[in-house]
Amino acid sequence: MLEFDRYLLEFDTETARLARLAHDADAQRPIPTCPGWTLEQLVGHVGLGHRWAAEIIRRRLLQPIPFPEVAVPAGPEERSEWLIAGASMLADAVREAGPDQPVWTWQKDRSAGFWLRRLLHDEVVHRFDAELALGIKGELATDLAADGVSDVLDTAATLSRTDIGVSSAFTGLVGTGESLQFVATDEGLGTNGEWSVVRGPGGVTWRHGHQRAHVTVRGPALDLLLLLNRRRTVETADVEIIGDRELFAHWWSNSTF
């Protein structure tokens, strides 16, 4: 994980990037990587998520609440300002409560800081959704991309569990010990750029580090991030697959989120 102040900085940066796209592009532009969504709907999803998590943190809630019913402003200027305002609500709530404040989350990390990290990575992916729709080649800091890989593996580990009574696409990742290794080829990441994953009968588990695996996927951290989030395919990502390609194909097809 990164430092709390770094998450705050990147959250502000990502919101500003998405806000510029929301201002400058056609609100009705379809988003191919989010089938059925327009840019306006994507911005609405992100902004409502910010407000929802901010309310959970502000009220120190230990149970979930319904999503707010708030209309996304129609004008480009107002829409961008609305997105930035929601992000400020979340950042301010986490600052005031402190990142270690216990609140409800849907993962084992039950802290206010969880929401800042989780919604930062959610916004990163959706910023790439918008850029891909607009033909823009997006960029991301390598260590943030690597942290995003860890985040999506946390999601897989939680939603594949067989003991939580929740059905999701990730439950298809239950296995009998099949192993996957993801390796970021960027310099300077060390073990933070290696992820060892096992598909067990109780769900997915993972840790940083290296292991012999049935299949290894190697490539830049950003390509791994977009591949695992299904924003790129094996054919369009700059990755190398060594070993059981069908095992990774099965993972990819059972990890919709």
Final residue of a domain: which of 134, 169, 201?
Answer: 134
> Is the pLDDT confidence value at 83 over 70?
yes
C-alpha closest to that of 181 among 130, 243, 227: 243
Final residue of a domain: which of 134, 164, 183?
Answer: 134
Radius of gyration of the chain (CA): 18
At 243, which CATH number?
A: 3.30.1050.10
Q: What is the structure's pLDDT at 166?
A: 67
User: Do residues 129 and 33 lie in contact, with contact meaning Cβ atoms separated by under 8 Å?
Assistant: yes
Cβ neighbours of 62 (radius 10 Å): 11
Helix (H, G, I), strand (E, B) or coil at 228: helix
pLDDT tens, position by position, 89-132: 999 999 999 999 999 999 999 999 999 999 999 999 999 999 99
Helix (H, G, I), strand (E, B) or coil at 81: helix
C-alpha closest to that of 122 among 52, 55, 192, 184: 52
Q: What is the structure's pLDDT at 165?
A: 63
Whether residue 16 sits in one domain with residue 130: yes
Whether residue 160 sits in one domain with residue 122: no
Whether residue 156 sits in one domain with residue 130: no
Whether residue 153 sits in one domain with residue 210: yes
Rounded to the nearest integer, the mean pLDDT of the chain is 95
Whether residue 208 sits in one domain with residue 104: no
Whether residue 203 sits in one domain with residue 112: no
Q: What is the mean pLDDT of residues 214-224?
A: 98
Whether residue 92 sits in one domain with residue 50: yes
- In the beta sheet, which residues pair with residue 216? 181, 242
Q: How distant is the alpha carbon of residue 164 from its chain centre?
A: 21
Q: What is the mean pLDDT of residues 207-232?
A: 97
Boundaries of domain holding 30: 4-134
pLDDT tens, position by position, 130-158: 999 999 999 999 999 999 999 999 999 99
Q: How distant is the alpha carbon of residue 29 from its chain centre?
A: 22
Whether residue 114 sits in one domain with residue 53: yes
pLDDT range class, residue 164, cuts 50, 70, 90: confident
Q: What is the mean pLDDT of residues 30-55?
A: 96
User: Do residues 141 and 124 lie in contact, with contact meaning Cβ atoms separated by under 8 Å?
Assistant: no
C-alpha closest to that of 55 among 40, 43, 69: 69
Whether residue 8 sits in one domain with residue 125: yes
Q: What is the mean pLDDT of residues 224-249?
A: 96
Q: What is the structure's pLDDT at 169?
A: 81
Whether residue 192 sits in one domain with residue 126: no
> Is the pLDDT confidence value at 257 over 80?
no
Whether residue 188 sits in one domain with residue 103: no
The model carries a pTM of: 0.95
> Is the pLDDT confidence value at 21 over 90?
yes
Domain count, the chain: 2
Whether residue 194 sits in one domain with residue 228: yes
Q: What is the structure's pLDDT at 8?
A: 98
